Amino acid sequence: MKVLYKNANVFTGNNTDFEEGIDFVVDTETGEFVSDTDVDQEVDLAGKYVMPGMINAHTHIVADPYEKIATLGDKDVTAATSTFLALKNLNALLTDGVTYIRDVGSVFDVDIELSALEESGELVAPGIIASGNPLTMTGGHFSNGSYEVDGVDEVKKFARLVMKKGARNVKMMATGGVSFSGETPWDVQMTEEELRAGVIEAHHKGRTACAHAQGTEGIQNALRAGVDSVEHAIFLDDETIQMFLDKGIYIVPTLTAPWAINQNADELPDFMVKKSLAVEKAHRKSIGEAAKAGVKLAMGTDSGTAYNNFDKNSSIELAMMVDTGATNLQALQAATINGADLLKISDHAGSIEAGKLADFIVLDDNPMQDIKALQADKVVYKKGHVVA
């Protein structure tokens, strides 16, 4: 069936504002936007605001942010529990308007297998760019859920392994972090040479590589290694921001990660709260300065970390980006066309145009005027069908 949606205010992802009185057609059989004029049904969206479905470039769908069912990094977690959590979290992401994700740290290849099921039409969920298990140094960040690699040869071997299994992104740990004890965000972990080896292997296959990097030295190592995106980027200086600009590398900010910890400090371990409180101000400052300088941003939340939920924090992340100094347009682009560019899915996602997946959100108010409009009730379409 072909459905004409008419009279909408539309941000296609390619324009710079919502345009009034726009019509578009969806083929519910193929799940795509089409250019046909012979339609079976019409839906009047006068007064509504329509934008592409959001892309969240940093999730951990196998994780339980509230630790009621499982603990992130627990070596005793089971495949069944991880799959249950992933399905639950994917559904929650849809309710917030997220129609595509990149998962950057899974276990039991859950993200890889669910990605294939979604792509084949067997699973109603956001599209998934999977990374499988990340790569970290022995005893490094998230070591219980990662392949532990030391030296260039081991990085090559395990990067090749995750891609053999079906990963379309190689995730590597350049620094320590906040969520685990015994390390800090300033710790340099995988070396520049190790990171570069992972990048080379990913790019040979036409896939992407990203680095968890929070401290300045680790971020610069990742940039010199040629990653496609740096996750978190908490401690930036002018030199590092210029490196992002010179190399055209994305930042995926994940501002909600420390914010969620600090909002729930009484419920969490002291070591985690202490580190999170120490980084939040610097994180916001860094992302604001990067945004104002014109560094490319892609939206990601790190959902799955402590109290960092799947059903609300993508919308909140965009508001936090604006609060740091990004424009509303930068935030909306981060969640649409930029995310698609980073994930290498621009041929079928990230914008409203014929031939692409009919993933879109219908809103009552204009997020270009008030980014918090995305936090209100919304109607979410995935492949042309209402899913939330």
User: What SS3 string covers 21-71?
Assistant: EEEEEEECCCCEEECCCCCCEEEECCCCEEEECEEEEEECCCCCCCCCCCC
Q: For strand 250-252 and strand 98-103, is the pairing parallel, antiparallel, or unpaired?
A: unpaired
| Amino acid sitting at position 83 | T
Q: CA 147, CA 165: separation in Å to the nearest integer? A: 14
Of all residues in the chain, the percent with pLDDT exceeding 90 is 97
Specify whether the CB–CB gap between 342 and 31 falls below 8 A: no
SS3 assignment, position 101: strand
Greatest pairwise CA separation for the chain in angstroms: 63
Task: Name the nearest CA neighbour of 308 among 106, 130, 67.
Answer: 67
SS3 assignment, position 170: strand
Sorted by where each starts, the structural domains of the chain and their CATH numbers stand as 2-52+350-386 (2.30.40.10), 54-343 (3.20.20.140)
Q: Residue 80 pLDDT more than 90?
A: yes
Position 37 confidence tier, pLDDT thresholds 50, 70, 90 = confident
Position 315 confidence tier, pLDDT thresholds 50, 70, 90 = very high
Q: What is the overall mean pLDDT for the chain?
A: 97
Instruction: Give the chain's end-to-end CA distance (angstroms, integer).
Output: 20
Specify whether the CB–CB gap between 221 and 191 falls below 8 A: yes
Q: What is the dihedral of CA 32, 33, 39, 40, to 10 degrees?
A: 40
Specify whether the CB–CB gap between 262 and 268 falls below 8 A: no
Query: Which residues, 6+ apart, have CB-to-CB distance to 369 below 8 Å?
Result: 328
Q: How many residues does the chain have?
A: 388
**Average of per-residue pLDDT across 266-271:** 95
Neighbours of 238 (CB within 10 A): 9
Query: What's the angle, vertex CA 148, arms to CA 282 and CA 111, rounded to 5?
Result: 80
Query: Which residues, 6+ apart, have CB-to-CB distance to 176 below 8 Å?
Result: 140, 141, 183, 184, 185, 186, 187, 189, 214, 215
> What pLDDT is attached to residue 75?
81
> What pLDDT is attached to residue 227?
99
Q: CA 123, CA 126: separation in Å to the nearest integer? A: 9
**Average of per-residue pLDDT across 271-285:** 96
> What pLDDT is attached to residue 76?
86
Give alpha helix (H) positions in the chain: 79-95, 110-120, 152-165, 192-204, 216-225, 238-247, 256-263, 270-293, 313-324, 328-334, 337-343
- Tokens representing 335 are 């969640």
142-151 long-range contacts, CB within 8 A, separation 24+: 142/73, 142/105, 142/173, 142/177, 142/180, 142/212, 144/73, 144/74, 144/75, 145/72, 145/73, 145/105, 145/106, 145/107, 146/105, 146/173, 149/190, 149/194, 151/194
Q: Residue 157 pLDDT more than 90?
A: yes
Rg (CA), the chain: 20
**Average of per-residue pLDDT across 20-47:** 97
Specify whether the CB–CB gap between 125 and 88 falls below 8 A: no
> What pLDDT is attached to residue 73?
75
In the numeric block, the tokens 């790190």 are attached to 302
Of all residues in the chain, the percent with pLDDT exceeding 70 is 100
> What pLDDT is attached to residue 368?
98
Query: Which residues, 6+ apart, have CB-to-CB distance to 113 below 8 Å?
Result: 166
Task: Name the nearest CA neighbour of 294 among 232, 250, 252.
Answer: 250
Over residues 335-372, the pLDDT tens digits come to 999 999 999 999 999 999 999 999 999 999 999 999 99
Task: Name the nearest CA neighbour of 214 among 294, 292, 130, 276.
Answer: 276
